[in-house]
Amino acid sequence: MPLIFNLGCEADLCAKVVRKLNAQEGDLELRHFPDGESYVRVLSDCVDQQVIILCGLDQPNSKLLSLLLVANTLRDLGAARIGLITPYLAYMRQDIRFKDGEGITSRYFAALLSNHVDWLVTVDPHLHRYNHLSEIYSIGTMVAPSAPVLADWIRQRIESPLLIGPDSESEQWVTEVAALAGAPYLILEKTRKGDRNVQVSIPNVEKYTDRVPVLIDDIVSTGHTFIETIKHLKALGMPPPVCMAVHGVFAEGALDGLYEAGAAQVVTCNTITHASNAMDVSSILAQAAQALLDT
């Protein structure tokens, strides 16, 4: 029976993953000394055990060190194999050197994690210029696909949807969700001119004006990709759209900005705890982890 140590994920998500993997929750003491250093004590017997660390990697810089210290402690105490379930995998967007002198941080982060855990499961990472996590991770990896979760949500709540991907990168998710939801889709063209400056162009949508637009992206961060799309849809006389993202990273003020721009609803998966969480990823995480536990 695998032991799951929860480093900060929502208790409900952890309980569901524990149940679906027929696992047991491990006991851990993790706190800070007065000078800010971390104190780690593993209270469960992990000798020769399959152990899993459940740790979301949103706000990664504040979480990474604890994760690495716990992984090292578990290894030191005799764990047989250490897996990481991270519902959101950070440091995937800097996948090339866009400007001279930049670090390709996705690679460095991947190398770091690969040195400390034996396998990794995550929900749809931002794979843009990489096709697969194995291009940067040297450990076993498995992607838990969110498309069935998004498609279920749409099928159960929206009678006549038109799925819209705000840029070419979103095509990989949107086409899959559209096929599973049995809905038409459009992919737009996006030009990003800065962190908060995004332009999108929308092809002819006249034939879909009777449908509810559902914008789908892997990440919503500042919200500007969705906001620009909402503005264009409004100008074209489309009804207020539903905005769906797999991972709600949400920079300060982003959710309010989306509603102010005219979103009918903003929904995300519970890969990052947020008020917009409406879709549960525990089943897909457990399925992917089970596949790696079985290897």
Nearer to ligand R5P, 30 or 264 (CB): 264
Alpha carbons 167 and 187: distance in angstroms, whole number: 6
Query: Which residues is 223 bridged to in the sheet?
Result: none
Phi/psi at 176 (5° precision): -70, -45
Q: Which residues bind ligand R5P (CB under 6 A)?
A: 167, 169, 198, 217-225
Question: What's the token pair of residue 199?
Answer: 């332009």
Q: Which residue has the tokens 């210029």?
A: 129
Per the rule left: phi > 0, alpha: psi between -120 and 50, beta: everything else, 78 is left
Nearer to ligand R5P, 24 or 168 (CB): 168
- Smallest gap from residue 196 Cβ to ligand R5P (A): 7
Nearer to ligand R5P, 167 or 176 (CB): 167
- Smallest gap from residue 280 Cβ to ligand R5P (A): 22
Q: What amino acid positions are annotated as catalytic residues? A: 190
The separation between CA 160 and the C-alpha centre of its own chain, rounded to angstroms, equals 27
Q: Which residue has the tokens 């030191």?
A: 76
For 42-68, b/e burial (b = at least 16 CB within 10 A) is: bebebeebbbbbbbbbbebeebbebbb
- Smallest gap from residue 189 Cβ to ligand R5P (A): 12
Query: Which residues is 201 bridged to in the sheet?
Result: 189
- Smallest gap from residue 91 Cβ to ligand R5P (A): 13
Alpha carbons 248 and 229: distance in angstroms, whole number: 17
Tell me, what amino acid is at 285? L
| Concatenated DSSP letters of 151-184 | HHHHHHH-SSEEEEESSGGGHHHHHHHHHHHT--
3-state secondary structure of 219: strand
- Smallest gap from residue 128 Cβ to ligand R5P (A): 6
Alpha carbons 5 and 84: distance in angstroms, whole number: 10
Nearer to ligand R5P, 9 or 266 (CB): 266
Alpha carbons 235 and 106: distance in angstroms, whole number: 38
Nearer to ligand R5P, 220 or 272 (CB): 220
Nearer to ligand R5P, 72 or 191 (CB): 191
- Smallest gap from residue 146 Cβ to ligand R5P (A): 13
Tell me, what amino acid is at 274? H
